[in-house]
Amino acid sequence: ISGGAGANFIKNTADIDVNSSGIGSGFSYASGAHLSWDGDGESFSNAVINSTATGISAGNENNTVINKGKLTILAKASTVKSITQTIRYWSEQENPDENNPPAPITSVDSDTLPTLPDDNYPVGKTIFWTKDPKSGDADYVPSYRTITNSNDDLVWVHIDGYILEKTITLANAPTYAFANGNGLTGTGKATAKGYSYATAYGMQLGNGDNNIINKTEINVSARPEAKTEVTADGDAFGDAVGTPHSFAVARAYGISVGSGNNWIMNDGTINVTAAPRASAKFRVTGGDICIWFFGWHCGGGGDGKGDAVASFDSLAVGIMTGNGTGNNEIINNGVLNVESIGRAHV
């Protein structure tokens, strides 16, 4: 129920259920050029989700609210979802060794090949040109690679081979980034950031002289989940750097009013829970360490470096009035159960 602006009189005698659930997730995969001396691969995923749920609200006036119904308010926000992603890559073989998978390639949808030089297409970059005029010809593969010609100019050349696709299905997957460095000193850098915010109000009134009576049960819960994971591989002497950051913020209020001379009486039960969850995980190669991501990736002489950060901010309040201004009277004849139970894991 939203009273909006004005001096509102709100009387609720029915049960109210409010559920706000939001999901924001990212998935990225990057691989450096195989034919480059320093084929760095860098991927970045960023997910931000904000979810708010309110049972009864009103603006900045002298509002009166009488609640005789049960309020159940839930705000959920998550950077986790089930995803299906198709990765396209080029191979010299129709059935390549899955323990030494080829690098994924970029699809180019323009009417012409990209103009060179271009920082997005270094030497050794392979692409799939979807609008190649010859793509309809039998046994023709519209794949191109950048090389340097005899004049040291960067040019496109058509290459034969196979365009293969692999579909990845991940159930309850975190916001994820994978980076694969190729070449002699190729460094793999993967960064994933997940920010999840959940705010829940049983009642939320603005500034003014508000009068509130609660006669029954108010259940308020804010449950954000931020989960990130990265995988990074550096070839030969290249390093692997993985940086997952997760941050979850929960705010839960049974009754919240602004500044003013507020009068609040609770004759019922108010249950308030703020329960943020944050986790961050990395897997990096280095030395003789190997990781699996649709094929084995093993470190060489480079280092594996990981920096995982998981944190939360949690606040749960039964009854809150303003910013310390006004003459407030709060009478609690009922029960207040308030808990703030955040968890962070790396």
Q: What is the 3-state secondary structure (H, E, C) of the chain?
A: CECCCCCCEEEECCCEEEEEEEECCCEEEEECCCCCCEECEEEEEEEEEEEEEEEEEECCCCCEEEECCCEEEEEEEECCEEEEEEEEEEECCCCCCCCCCCCECEEECCCCCCCCCCCCCCCCCEEEECCCCCCCCCCCCCEEEEEECCCCCEEEEECCCEEEEEEEEEEEECEEEEEECEECCCCEEEEEEEEEEEEEEEEEECCCCCEEEECCEEEEEEEEEEEEEEEEECCCCCCEEEEEEEEEEEEEEEEEECCCCCEEEECCEEEEEECCEEEEEEEECECCEEEECCCEEECCCCCEEECCEEEEEEEEEEEEECCCCCCCEEEECCEEEEEECCEEEC
Distant-in-sequence, close-in-space partners of 228: CB < 8 Å, separation ≥ 6 = 45, 79, 174, 175, 176, 192, 193, 194, 244, 245, 246, 279, 280, 281
The tens place of each residue's pLDDT in the chain, 346 residues long, gives: 998 888 999 999 999 999 999 988 887 766 554 444 455 667 788 899 999 999 999 989 899 999 999 999 999 999 988 777 777 778 877 777 665 656 667 888 899 999 998 877 888 888 889 899 988 788 888 889 999 999 999 999 999 888 887 777 777 878 888 776 655 556 678 888 999 999 999 999 999 899 999 999 999 999 999 999 887 776 655 677 888 899 999 999 999 999 889 999 999 999 999 999 999 988 776 545 555 555 555 555 556 677 889 999 999 999 999 766 778 999 999 999 999 999 998 8
Asked if 62 and 9 touch (Cβ cutoff 8 Å), the reply is no
Distant-in-sequence, close-in-space partners of 168: CB < 8 Å, separation ≥ 6 = 83, 84, 85, 86, 87, 294
In angstroms, the CA 286 to CA 228 distance is 21
In angstroms, the CA 268 to CA 265 distance is 9
Residue 174, φ and ψ in degrees, nearest 5? -75, 170
The first and second tokens of residue 298, run together, are 């093993």
What local confidence, expressed as pLDDT, does residue 90 receive?
A: 80
In angstroms, the CA 120 to CA 107 distance is 12
What local confidence, expressed as pLDDT, does residue 282 receive?
A: 82
Asked if 318 and 252 touch (Cβ cutoff 8 Å), the reply is no
In angstroms, the CA 32 to CA 168 distance is 20
In angstroms, the CA 241 to CA 313 distance is 27
Residue 269, Cβ density class (10 Å: 0-12 exposed, 13-18 middle, ≥19 buried): middle
The first and second tokens of residue 253, run together, are 């209020």
